[in-house]
Structures are given as structure tokens and as C-alpha cells.
Structure 1
């Protein structure tokens, strides 16, 4: 696989930036980590990572004038990857911060896991879990069905368009853990912490 151009990792003060950028560098990719819209606009691909609250993230993106940059990338066909909270930000709204709008790149909402005491499932969903893939995509090439990935989250997406769903995971409820449409990709897990399978997904993205 041939690497193609600089990967821009969007820094809005809440992402797992170092681990993502180091993983890309280990894979042979060139990385720019920052919040300068002009520099990010010149990147060939963009990654929106994230750890924290939906509302705080949207406020930080707005403060740094990054919302229009992300929407422009999505509309103009630039490859864009959302990781963990980044996936959730692609949607219109979240139960975590109902008064604030998301990026609205995909229609749908983000909801919280229900209490799963009877099934002895703790919230947040934290640790290794499997992804069952529904359809083949270049983005998941070389990754085995039911491979394990590392998750840390209390909320999950409910896309209106079910065709977006590439992979699903069970945690008391079956939720979308891998989504894709044209140039836009998203994973609920942390690929940079998911060993072979996660690094393969990152490699596939930077080689698109």
C-alpha cells in the first residue's frame, strides 16, 4: 500500500493526539498535529480524535474556527476519520449535551447506554470487544471479522441511514462501531490502542 500525503490530526484540546500521531508515524505516515485551519486545509486527509464530553468538544471546535474546516472537508471529498468522540461529533445531536448541535455531517443522534446491572455490564463500556463486520470496504481490508478492538465510551450513535453501518459491536445492545460513507469514516473504538487490527485500519485510512 502506498502512503499518500500528510495526515492532519485536528487538535481542539480534547483529543488523544499523541497516541494517534505516534501510531501514524510508526506506520510511515507524515503527520501535522494542530488547530491552524489553513495548515489543516492543506493536509491530504484529516483525523478528528476525541476524549471527553460532546458539548465541550463542539464549543472547543467553534472557538478554534474548525467547524467549517471539517464540514468543507466532508463536502469536498477529502478523506476524514472520526475516532471515538470524533465519531459522535459527526452526528446532529447527543443526549450528553442536548442543547448543542453536532457537526451534522450524518443524520442521527447519540444516546447513552442504559443501565445494564442485570447483565453485569458496567458503564462506561471500557476494554476489548469484538466488531462484527456487515460489508466489505477498503477501509477494513485485512481486518478479520470479530476481531477485538479497544473501547472507552458511555454513548453510542444511532444513524438514521443504516447503510452507513460497516461494523457492529454488542454491549447489552448492538451498536454501530464502524461507519463509512464515500470519503467519511468513523470508528467508536481507539484504533491506535487496538494493536494489529486497529493499526491495520489506520494504515488503510492513510493509504486511501
Structure 2
């Protein structure tokens, strides 16, 4: 029944067409609100942070709606957040897009860098190597997902910098070099690919995430 569905807010801060993400989440079993209002962002069972375009532009738009503070409050309170595409990238410390260093949210160490591939953007379907025990990729470990990006995080230093903390689950893909395709870190998850554009595999991944919200609320 609809009233039992987890409530998910898709952060509305001007990031391109997010209607496909809203529809995909609804099909995955969520009751979805597209909003940047604090009451919607902070109280939802889950928050989705989409991202399309340049890192710097996305960061500026997030700041304009006070989303950086609200995302930080959710993470600090253990309330689930899912970043998508540039929504993953801004969770890292910085980006060097177009040769200019820009600050990110700093939830994870690392920099977003240009993929060292003969052809960029990396556009189309690609396989991933999910972390063992992944919740997001349960049932779709061997499937392909849809990517559209020229930049990515190619190094992972969390295990070294935070030796006393449980290491996040990191899923990798490759285009010119290995890059992070997804991360699961307690309440904070993110994918470099677009699950809402990844057919049945992406639909299953979103159902897995929505189901985790249902379990957390129970």
C-alpha cells in the first residue's frame, strides 16, 4: 500500500531533467517528492542527490538551496542519502575539472579527475565489479549499467586514512583506467552511473535501495 512505502525526496536544485529518476524510484516502491524544502529533505526516509553537468555548477547550485548543510545533517544523523552521477562526485573532497581545483562536500577523500581514455565522455553501457556483500548490487552483480561522464574518482585512500573505521564497500568499473562506479558507506551511497537509465538492472538496484529504507524504518 502507498502509505507503507518509504518516502524519498529527490533534491530539486536545478540539475537538469530529474523526472526519470522520480519515475524510476516510484516504480521501485517509493513515495517520491521533488523538493529542496528543508522539511522534505531532512525528514524523508531517503534523499536522492542527482547530478548532471559540471562539478562546479552542481556545487554552486547545491549551495544556493542550502543543500550542503542539509546533506551533512542527514549523514551525521545516519539518515540515508543516494548520490547519482555528479551527485557521487561532489561527495568527494575535490575536483580538478578543466584544470581548476574545486572543493566538494568532503564526505570521502579523493579527487575527481579526467578519465585517461582515448574517447571521452564515457557514454554507454559498462560492467562493474561490485564489492563483496554489496546491498545495492544484490541480484545484479554481473549486469551492465549506463554511464555518461568524462571525469571520475580513480584512487581510493579511505582504508589508509581511516584505519579504525569500517571501510566502505567500493564498486569499480573501467574506462581507460579503473574508476569508482559506486560506494556504500553506511547511510551514504552513490553511483557514478545512472540507475534510472540502466534498464532492468538499474531498476533492481533502486529497489534494493528502497527496500533498505523500508527495513531501516521497520
Q: 2:122 — aligned with what?
A: 125
| Equivalent of 1:166 in 150, 170, 175 | 170
- The 5 A counterparts of 1:75-90 are 75-90=76-91
| Equivalent of 1:100 in 84, 99, 102 | 102
* Two-structure CA RMSD over aligned residues (Å): 1.8
Q: Are the equivalent residues in 1 in contact too, given 2:146–2:194 (CA < 8 A)?
A: yes
Give how far 1:174 is off: 1.0
Give how far 1:165 is off: 4.5
Give how far 1:6 is off: 0.5
* TM-score, scaled to structure 1: 0.90
- The 5 A counterparts of 1:1-208 are 4-96=5-97, 98-114=100-116, 116-117=117-118, 122-145=119-142, 147-157=143-153, 158-161=155-158, 163-208=167-212
Give how far 1:99 is off: 4.4
**Which structure 1 residue ranges, 5 or more long, are not aligned?**
none
Supply the distance in 2 between the matched residues of 1:188 and 1:52 (Cα, whole angstroms): 13
Supply the distance in 2 between the matched residues of 1:138 and 1:15 (Cα, whole angstroms): 28
Q: How many residues align?
A: 201
The 1:156–1:96 alpha-carbon spacing in structure 2 relative to 1, beyond 3 Å, is same
The 1:4–1:74 alpha-carbon spacing in structure 2 relative to 1, beyond 3 Å, is farther
Supply the distance in 2 between the matched residues of 1:99 and 1:89 (Cα, whole angstroms): 12
Supply the distance in 1 between the matched residues of 2:62 and 2:105 (Cα, whole angstroms): 10
Supply the distance in 2 between the matched residues of 1:165 and 1:172 (Cα, whole angstroms): 22
Structure 1 residues 4-59: Cα deviation after superposition (integer angstroms, max 9, x where no partner):
52101011101441010001112221001111122211111101011011111111
**Which structure 2 residue ranges, 5 or more long, are not aligned?**
160-166, 213-218
* TM-score, scaled to structure 2: 0.86
Supply the distance in 1 between the matched residues of 2:11 and 2:158 (Cα, whole angstroms): 26
The 1:175–1:11 alpha-carbon spacing in structure 2 relative to 1, beyond 3 Å, is same
Supply the distance in 1 between the matched residues of 2:5 and 2:38 (Cα, whole angstroms): 20
